[in-house]
Amino acid sequence: MISVKEKRDALLEEELCDHCLGRQFAKLGHGLENFERGAICREIDDLEEDSFVRENIPEDADLGGSCEYCDGVFQKMDHWVELVEDSFDRYELSTFLIGIRPPNEAIEKEEALWEEYGIEWTEPIKTELSRLIGKRIEKELGIEVDFKRPDINAIIEMDENKDRVEMQVNSLLLYAQYNKYSREIPQTEWHCRNCRGSGCEECDWTGKNYPTSVQEEIQEPFKRETKAIEAKFHGGGREDVDARCFGRREFVLELVEPLHRDLDLESLMEEVNDNEKIEIFDLRPAGKDEIEEIKEKHADKMYRAEVELSEDVDDEKLEKLQDIKGEIEQRTPNRVDHRRADKVRKREVQRVLCERKGEKKIELVIKAEAGTYIKELISGDEGRSDPSVSETLGCEAECTALDVLNIEK
């Protein structure tokens, strides 16, 4: 294996600047920059792996060298930093990440150099550049590099003719839970099927099937404060339009390309909750995996259903409803979108409690596994749901009002 000294001696034949020379030894020593490693390479004759320490840096080591391998990119540090800072100007952010697309020529020459002298101890030029530029921006703007999920990912395209910064602005994610107190609003915005949102006679020129939704009741102040270009609503399941929810359903509100991120969540929550249709709880920033997490949770739920019967039934029969327990089979309901696969699903019903509410009227409290079709569990859906309340009572049964009472967290 080639020694550090041998590699250095060979590389000195090339006319490398300190950055490019030092970069061939980037993995040696800690807390040094490559131009300092390059200066050590020229200073220490008997160069060894442990020569790369701070005491060996000559006093005249200097940032900003240039050679044919780097095409002068290190002399333009002010320019790169300014390009990025100008692009960041309209955004409020606390974390960022710099990516680099070096000039093509620099990449080709870097590869040729690696081929001739080996890749041991080296790092790519784009790694050095993104670190140097990132450090300066951290210092000048008081924001931090984040490798996992930065507010903004800025990619500097280094091209003689058109240097530019490509920005990927990450969404701002907020977690909360909602209750819905209206039987007239869907969870998310529904576009009119006839005009697909552009407005027509059928939808009274609103472009929508419903005047509002849980999403719309919640998102407006967040869109206003963040100046996001759009908001997306990711619910942990959904209830029917005509079902209320008292179970605090989890959701993530995604604000796409926000200009502002520093929000007064307390006062925004108050503003949203000045509302009779919905209420939100536990508003906080969400982690990047939380959309998936709440969508994958298959939470058991408790419902309250008002049920109308076609006949009056005696107490003895009503008591039998408690026996609807354990595994039930449900074929995809008739009312469900016909694009959904028609198949039989097995679901677990944990509990059915019944209370008489009047002539031909009962109220049920049902605890069941995620995905159970409650209205069909009651009506039987022409035999597609088995067993059912209707079949057990021997008469027709229809759910006239449904509430979600609890969603297990």
- Active site residue ranges: 240
Closest listed residue to residue 329, CA positions, set 367, 372, 364: 372
Task: Choose between 24 and 177: whose C-beta lies nearer to Zn ion.
Answer: 24
For residues 23 and 127, what is the distance between their CA atoms, to the nearest angstrom?
A: 10
Least Å distance, CB 38 to Zn ion, is 9
Binding site for Zn ion (CB under 5 A): 17, 19-20, 67, 69-70, 192, 194-195, 200, 202-203
For residues 340 and 203, what is the distance between their CA atoms, to the nearest angstrom?
A: 26
Q: Tokens representing 113?
A: 């150099």
Assess contact for 388 and 364: CB atoms under 8 A. Answer: no
> Where does residue 286 fall: left (phi above 0), alpha (psi -120 to 50 degrees), or beta otherwise?
beta
28 alpha-carbon distance from chain centroid: 38
Neighbour tally for 283: CB within 10 Å: 20
For residues 10 and 41, what is the distance between their CA atoms, to the nearest angstrom?
A: 12
SS3 labels along 213-248:
CHHHHHHHHHHHHHCCCEEEEEECCCCCCCEEEEEE
Task: Choose between 20 and 245: whose C-beta lies nearer to Zn ion.
Answer: 20
For residues 383 and 345, what is the distance between their CA atoms, to the nearest angstrom?
A: 14
Task: Choose between 121 and 181: whose C-beta lies nearer to Zn ion.
Answer: 121
Least Å distance, CB 208 to Zn ion, is 8
Least Å distance, CB 75 to Zn ion, is 9
For residues 130 and 100, what is the distance between their CA atoms, to the nearest angstrom?
A: 6
Helix (H) or strand (E) holding 345: strand 344-358
Task: Choose between 186 and 235: whose C-beta lies nearer to Zn ion.
Answer: 186
AA identity, residue 341: A
Task: Choose between 167 and 200: whose C-beta lies nearer to Zn ion.
Answer: 200
Task: Choose between 191 and 248: whose C-beta lies nearer to Zn ion.
Answer: 191
For residues 393 and 388, what is the distance between their CA atoms, to the nearest angstrom?
A: 9
Least Å distance, CB 67 to Zn ion, is 4
Least Å distance, CB 132 to Zn ion, is 13
Task: Choose between 154 and 192: whose C-beta lies nearer to Zn ion.
Answer: 192
Assess contact for 383 and 290: CB atoms under 8 A. Answer: no
Length of the chain: 409
Strands 95-101 and 152-157 turn out to be parallel
Assess contact for 247 and 212: CB atoms under 8 A. Answer: no
Task: Choose between 159 and 282: whose C-beta lies nearer to Zn ion.
Answer: 159
For residues 185 and 277, what is the distance between their CA atoms, to the nearest angstrom?
A: 8
For residues 68 and 17, what is the distance between their CA atoms, to the nearest angstrom?
A: 9
Name the CA dihedral angle for 138, 143, 145, 149, rounded to a multiple of 10 degrees: -160
Per the DSSP assignment, residues forming a β-bridge with 285 are 174
Q: At what angle do helices 4-11 and 104-117 cross, to 10 degrees?
A: 130
